[in-house]
Amino acid sequence: LPMAAADPRVLALAAQITESREQDIPPLLLELKGFLNSASLGSEESKKIKQDIYSYGLTRYCILVLRQDHSQLRGGWATAAQLAEILSHCCVGLEVKEDPEEFYTKFLPSAVDNLLFLGRRLQARFVRAIKDEEKQDFLRWFQTVTGAICWLFGGHVQLAACVLQNDHFLQLLMADDVETAVIMMSVLHSILEVNSSVLLQVDEKTLHSVLDELVHRLSSTTNLIIGSAATKLLLLMAKFCKQLVKLLMAHYKGLKGLLSKRWTGKGFDRDLGQLLDLLCLEQQSNGKGEIQRQHQAACTIQAMWRGFQTRKRLRKLSQAVITLQRSFRAKREQELQHLKKQKEDEALKLQLQLQRQRAMRLFHERQLALLEIIHASQVNKYMEEMEEKSALTIQRFWRGYRARRNFHQQKQSLKEYKAAVVIQRAASKFLEKRRRRRPLPPWKDPKGLTDEQRLALQQKVDDYIRLHPASQMSEEMSKELHTQAQEKLARFLLRNRLDQRAAQRREALLAQVNTDVELLMNAPGLSETTEKDLSVFMSRSVPVATKARQSHNAMLKYSSWPWWKKLGDEFVEDDAIPDDALSAELETLFIGGKK
């Protein structure tokens, strides 16, 4: 630890990180940004803060955190991008006094490697992202990390070669997506501007990899941004390193024709013209015959290729037309089926709605008709019966639904149980057959009983018979018991026949009562009654008609009594008539000539 007085904020943060869990460290390290922003850039206070941060190992914590999977940590990848920016700012302008060799040879290359590794992770998640918001977030964080890398090798020029030779950098440069490829090309442009001699410091393999990627971009894409960035990079590399022009002409013989044919008039003709001029000067030095020969060879190859492509396209034209027609008809048939099904569903839905409304209207009409017919004193009873029937219907449907649901849930287990039974039965049969086929060895013959064992078993049998004697019955008792059974059977059959007749009679009476009740409920009011309606309720029996007439007269007489004759009936309901005032039984009902 440093002997000089350290910044208390850095000291407190280091102590807090030491005592914190691993997943809580990244959010704590974000406080370093406030420490760095509190002092002006390049001041002694800023250098002192960076020295304290490095001395207490907080920068090493940042390097280690960059290697973690931040999708599982608090803050996510946004925290990782901010930590990358904090790490680069802590390393630039830092003056290490103790063991500077370790700082420049181990610490800084490790920081570069971790930053590039984080960039690869962000690029992979940007490619896999589906939503536009996620893509924009990952692209912004990737730009932050690449900016931190540029800031780092901008402050330490010797890191430019380290960045260029890193495998992660080459992988990032070979990305297929346009956005990250453009960003990495800008990083390469910054490397060349910071250290123009870096191309002479890297090995030949790395240089060839970078050139292969740039030329591949120019030959395989039509994106203007990619083409412009690749052209500017090749021009910059050719200006800084004259030997690179010879390398381009030697290894990429068709580069000049590719650039002039594909990228002329695309908006960066100035840079393209300068690059073509450099290539032309180099080509002129090698001889004009080579150019003509290459041009003629290219024209021959293109002519052969175009002829092959045309013949191939003509052979496949008829099949392509048939396939197109088939797919069009299938798609049209599918759309027609979809429209037909949609219309049928709408018609069915409308029909069900009309049926439901019609059923509801009929139900309400029936309810109103029944309420008009039923007497006021019977309305509550009728409503209770309807509620009970409704409750029973709901319960019945609920039990059915629950039983079907339980059956579907238990169906799989029942199927497994049956399968287990079948397997067990087959296994048992197989084992039994194999047991029967297997002969017993001669030394395993069943052993017989000895004389002593036979005597002991016979003694046990005799003792059991003596303790449990069998009951015996004479022939006379058997005949008497048979006679009693026959008599009881005859009485049962006779009683059963009488019960059946009584049940039939009860059913007939119930049907008659139901018919009479329906007649009463469907009868019109007194104001609408006709002679034809009265004939339905008139009895053909003279005694019955006389009794009914007497009951009616008694009722009229009771209703016409003065008030003083009705004293004592204050607590009787208005529609109730005393039994002693009537000469007929009120419980008896005369309907349709039957009592």
User: Are 150 and 283 in the same domain?
Assistant: yes
* β-strand partners of 591: 594
pLDDT of residue 452: 87
User: Domains in the chain: how many in total?
Assistant: 2
Distance from first CA to last CA of the chain, Å, rounded? 119
Residue 565 counted as domain residue: no
* β-strand partners of 594: 591
User: Are 67 and 108 in the same domain?
Assistant: yes
pLDDT of residue 399: 93
CA 271 to CA 251: how far, in whole Å? 21
User: Are 317 and 262 in the same domain?
Assistant: no
User: Are 140 and 274 in the same domain?
Assistant: yes
Which of 254, 288, 322 is the last residue in one of the domains? 288
CA 326 to CA 328: how far, in whole Å? 5
Tokens of 448: 């017989």
CA 468 to CA 4: how far, in whole Å? 111
DSSP 297-361: HHHHHHHHHHHHHHHHHHHTHHHHHHHHHHHHHHHHHHHHHHHHHHHHHHHHHHHHHHHHHHHHH
Residue with tokens 């017919």: 373
Output the CA–CA distances (angstroms, integers) from residue 504 to 246, 441, 493, 513, 591, in the order listed: 120, 75, 17, 14, 22
User: Are 277 and 337 in the same domain?
Assistant: no
Residue numbers of the domain that contains 369: 308-374
What does the longest C-alpha to C-alpha distance in the chain come to?
149
Residue 73 counted as domain residue: yes
Residue 56 counted as domain residue: yes
Q: Considering Cα of 228, then 231, then 237, then 238, what sign does the dihedral take? A: negative
CATH of the domain at 51: 1.25.10.10
Nearest by Cα to 62 from 13, 97, 96, 101: 13
Full-model pTM: 0.45
User: Are 244 and 314 in the same domain?
Assistant: no
The region that residue 62 occupies, defined by phi over 0 for left and psi between -120 and 50 for alpha, beta otherwise, is alpha
pLDDT of residue 581: 44
pLDDT of residue 531: 75
Residue 23 counted as domain residue: yes
CA 165 to CA 159: how far, in whole Å? 10
Residue 535 counted as domain residue: no
Nearest by Cα to 150 from 104, 211, 194, 215: 194
Which of 374, 396, 417 is the last residue in one of the domains? 374
pLDDT of residue 2: 43
Which of 220, 253, 288 is the last residue in one of the domains? 288
Question: Which positions ≥6 away from 212 have C-beta within 8 Å?
Answer: none
Tokens of 18: 């030491």
Residue 180 counted as domain residue: yes
For the chain (length 595 residues), average pLDDT per consecutive 10?
Answer: 61 76 75 72 74 76 77 75 80 75 80 83 82 84 84 78 80 80 83 77 79 80 80 78 72 75 77 76 64 84 92 83 89 93 93 91 83 77 86 93 87 88 94 81 62 89 82 79 91 91 90 82 77 70 77 83 69 48 40 39
> Do 153 and 112 contact (CB within 8 A), yes or no?
yes
User: Are 252 and 342 in the same domain?
Assistant: no
User: Are 169 and 23 in the same domain?
Assistant: yes
CA 341 to CA 346: how far, in whole Å? 9
Cβ burial of 523 (10 Å; 0-12, 13-18, 19+) is: middle
User: Are 202 and 98 in the same domain?
Assistant: yes
Phi and psi angles of residue 427, each rounded to the nearest 5 degrees, phi first: -65, -40
Residue 531 counted as domain residue: no
Output the CA–CA distances (angstroms, integers) from residue 416 to 409, 411, 412, 423, 563, in the order listed: 12, 9, 6, 10, 85
User: Are 100 and 219 in the same domain?
Assistant: yes
Residue 337 counted as domain residue: yes
User: Are 238 and 326 in the same domain?
Assistant: no
pLDDT of residue 589: 39
User: Are 115 and 236 in the same domain?
Assistant: yes
Q: Using CA atoms in the order 63, 64, 69, 71, what is the torsion angle rounded to 10 degrees? A: -70
CA 71 to CA 124: how far, in whole Å? 13
CA 588 to CA 595: how far, in whole Å? 7
Go through the chain and tell me how many residues it has.
595
